[in-house]
Amino acid sequence: MSTSVVTAPVVGHSLELNLPRRARALRVLTLTPFFPSAEDPTQGGFIAEPLACMQRLGVSQEVIAVQPFYRGSARPAENAAGTWKNYACIPGNLGLPVAGKFLAASLMPTILRQHRKAPFDLIHAHAALPCGHAAAVIADRLSIPFVVSVHGLDAFFTSQTGAVIGSLCERVAENVYRSAAAVICISEKVREQVLSALPASTKTKAAVIYNGVDLGMFYPGMECKSPQVVLSVGNLIAIKGHASLLRAFACVSVDVPNCVLEIIGDGPERGKLSQLAVDLGIAARVQFRGRQSRNEVAVALRRCAVFALPSTFEGLGCVYLEAMACAKPAIGCWGQGIEEIIAHGKTGILVAPGNEAELSDSLRALLLDNNLRRRLGVAAREAVIARLTLDHQARQLAEIYRGCAA
C-alpha cells in the first residue's frame, strides 16, 4: 500500500492565508462534543485522528471534550489525547440557546489557568452550539481569535427544535458565525446552509475542508465471496435510510441468492428495522451487528462487496470515504454532501433519496458484475489518496489556524 502526500489548498471557497508561519508551535484549544470516549470509542474520530498530523505540522492542540451533566460522565478512550468535562445547563432543547454561556462559565477557570501557564493562540470549536458560543465568550476574555467547524446540515439547530427555541438557536448561531475568524464546513452543501442566513461579508471567511481518512486503518482487503456482503454503517435513525435499504435488499436477494446484508450501528430504529426484516422475509440474511470499534468497522469494510448508506440528511459522511479508501464501491444519495466526493458511475453510485428501485438496481448491478465493482473501487481509492487523507485535512486546518492567529 502506498500513500500519496499532497499539499492541497483548502477545497471550495477558501480564505486568503498566504502568511508567514510562526517559528514556535501554534497552540490551539479545541472544544468539542465529539471525541472518542471509553464509552463510545468510535465517536469523533474525524477530530482525534488528524491530531498526530497536526503535531508534525507544528500545531499543538489541547482538546477538551464536553457533554451536559445529565448525560453522565465520560472517560477518555485509550490513546485519545483529550479530557472530558461535564457542564451544568438546562436539560434538553430548552437549554440549547444558553448552553454555551453555561459551558463557558464552567470551563473558564481551568482555561485561564492553562492560558497563563502556556498561552493559547486560537480556539477551535466544533458546532456553533454550545461549543462555538462558549468559544466566542472565552476567546473574547483571552483576546484571541476562534474558528468554528460545522459538521452537519442543521447549521442553525432549527431542525431539532421547535419554532420558538429554534429561532433563539438560529440567532445565537448566526452571532457565532459572524464573530468567528473562520467558519470551517465539511462540504459545500454545509457551506451553503451556513451562508443561507448570513450576510455576503461572511462568505469571505467560510471555507470547506473535507474530513480525511486514515489510510493506515482503511485499506483494501480480500472480499468475502460466499456469501457476498452488502455493508451499511451508521446510527439506526430514520434519516440514515436503513428501511429503504432493507426493502431494496429484499428485491435484490431474489436475483442474488448468495448475499447477505450486514448493518453496523445502533439506535432507536433497531426494533422497527428488525421487524421489517422479518416482515420482508429476509431476517435470516440480515445481520444487525450493533456498535463496533473502528478496527472492526475497517475489517468489515475490507471484506464487503458493496457499501450502501442511502442517508437523506448527511453533511458529508466519513464512512463513505472510509469505504472508498478500502477500494469498495459506495452507494449514497444525490443532494447530500457525499455527491461532492462520489463521481457517479466512476468512483461510486448515487441514487435519488428514497428511490428504492434505483437503490435495488444499483445493488444488483454491483453484486452481479465483478469488473464493475473492481473498477469503481480502484477509482474510489485513488480519489481518496489524491485529496482526502488525514494529511490533507491537517495541512488545510493548519493553514487556516496560522492565517487566523497571525
Arithmetic mean of pLDDT, 335-356: 98
Please, what is the average pLDDT of the chain? 92
Amino acid at 74: A
User: Is 179 domain-assigned?
Assistant: yes
CA distance 251 to 255: 8
Burial of 281 (0-12, 13-18, 19+ CB in 10 A): exposed
Arithmetic mean of pLDDT, 328-348: 98
Count of domains for the chain? 2
- Only one residue has cell 497552540, namely 27
Task: Read off the pLDDT of residues 119-177 as tens digits, 9 standing for 90 and up.
Answer: 999 999 999 999 999 999 999 999 999 999 999 999 999 988 888 999 999 999 999 99
pLDDT at 24: 67
User: Is 12 domain-assigned?
Assistant: no
Residue 168 shares a structural domain with residue 301: no
pLDDT at 25: 85
pLDDT at 4: 31
Residue 201 shares a structural domain with residue 316: no
Residue 188 shares a structural domain with residue 66: yes
Taking 70 as the threshold, does the pLDDT of residue 325 lie above it? yes
| Nearest CA-CA partner of 177 in 121, 127, 233 | 127
User: Is 17 domain-assigned?
Assistant: no
Residue 35 shares a structural domain with residue 87: yes
pLDDT at 21: 44
CA distance 207 to 400: 9
User: Is 308 domain-assigned?
Assistant: yes
Arithmetic mean of pLDDT, 63-81: 91
Residue 372 shares a structural domain with residue 396: no
Residue 65 shares a structural domain with residue 131: yes
User: 365-394 burial, b for 16+ CB within 10 Å, e for fewer?
Assistant: ebbeeeeebeebbebbbebbbebbbbbbbb
Residue 304 shares a structural domain with residue 157: no
Taking 70 as the threshold, does the pLDDT of residue 40 lie above it? yes
Residue 46 shares a structural domain with residue 162: yes
Query: Which percentage of the chain shows pLDDT scores above 70?
Result: 93
Residue 258 shares a structural domain with residue 338: yes
CA distance 75 to 187: 30
CATH number of the domain encompassing residue 287? 3.40.50.2000
Q: Tell me how long the chain is.
A: 406
Residue 204 shares a structural domain with residue 307: no
Indicate the pairing of strand 306-308 with strand 228-233. Answer: parallel
**Domain span including residue 294:** 228-387
User: Is 2 domain-assigned?
Assistant: no
Residue 265 shares a structural domain with residue 300: yes
User: Is 3 domain-assigned?
Assistant: no
User: Is 116 domain-assigned?
Assistant: yes
User: Is 5 domain-assigned?
Assistant: no
Residue 45 shares a structural domain with residue 105: yes
Task: Read off the pLDDT of residues 268-302 as tens digits, 9 standing for 90 and up.
Answer: 999 999 999 999 999 999 999 999 999 999 999 99
- Only one residue has cell 465493482, namely 373
Indicate the pairing of strand 26-32 with strand 122-126. Answer: parallel
